[in-house]
Chains A and B, each alone.
Chain A
Amino acid sequence: DTAVSQTPKYLVTQMGNDKSIKCEQNLGHDTMYWYKQDSKKFLKIMFSYNNKELIINETVPNRFSPKSPDKAHLNLHINSLELGDSAVYFCASSQGQDSGYGYTFGSGTRLTVV
């Protein structure tokens, strides 16, 4: 059983399109996150949700909108895609809001905007 699963694994799309990435966790965790990893492997937090409530909303363009229909799912919708959005996007989850427990990561979605 996959603990944190993301779909799709690869996404190639043209500039200006709108796309969504889905994430689901079956660990019973309360908190979920989206991270962006650039080509130099640098990881940056984008959003986090705790029990469907937005907790962290970093300085990302308004074109990025997270949505958490329940505590097991956290989706990321991106409007008007730009070349600079190309990256690997990771979903993660943790128990509670205390990130001292550490995270469980999904395998990532490699987004390529052409």
Chain B
Amino acid sequence: GNSVTQMEGPVTLSEEAFLTINCTYTATGYPSLFWYVQYPGEGLQLLLKATKADDKGSNKGFEATYRKETTSFHLEKGSVQVSDSAVYFCALPTGRRALTFGSGTRLQVQP
């Protein structure tokens, strides 16, 4: 079935550093791909998505490009802020009409 693999965290960066969180997927066909963010003590929020190959999803300075050649959907941001500290999840639909999530990557941004 469909699955995603994320890089393990935590990722610790200084403010204004460049961020990359790797996500690779295994899927039948070309399902939509998602990044969700979970701030401390909160539920998950949709950060961005891409619905087809070569699409770029973007939101709040974050970007991810749906690359079928490398089966990847890496999350990037050019300059992180302390407020970006959270857990980030890559996700895609399973064949059973539910989202399956990666294991999550914790980002810690230091001032």
A interface vs B, CB < 8 Å? 4, 31, 33, 40-43, 45, 48, 55-56, 90, 92, 97-100, 102-108
Contact = CB atoms under 8 A, between A and B. Distances in A.
Interface majority SS (helix, strand, loop, mixed), chain B:
strand
B82 interface: no
18 contacts: A33-B98, A40-B103, A41-B38, A41-B103, A42-B104, A43-B101, A45-B99, A45-B100, A56-B96, A90-B43, A90-B44, A97-B97, A98-B97, A99-B93, A99-B98, A105-B43, A105-B44, A108-B42
Interface string B83-111: 00001010001101111110110100000
B79 interface: no
The CB with the most chain B CB atoms within 10 A, among A31, A56, A100, is that of A100
A9 to B, nearest CB: 9
Interface residues of B toward A: which range?
20 to 34
* Nearest 9 A/B pairs, CB to CB: A105-B43, A100-B32, A41-B104, A99-B93, A43-B101, A107-B43, A105-B44, A45-B98, A97-B97
A56 B97 contact: yes
Interface of B: 31-32, 34, 36, 38, 42-46, 49, 51, 87, 89, 93-94, 96-101, 103-104, 106
B30 to A, nearest CB: 11
Nearest to B97: A97
Contacts of B87: 41
A41 B45 CA distance: 14
Contacts of B43: 4, 90, 105-108
A90 B104 CA distance: 15
Contacts of A104: 46
Nearest to B106: A41
A48 B98 contact: yes
Nearest to A42: B103
Contact of B98 (A4, A40, A42, A56): A56
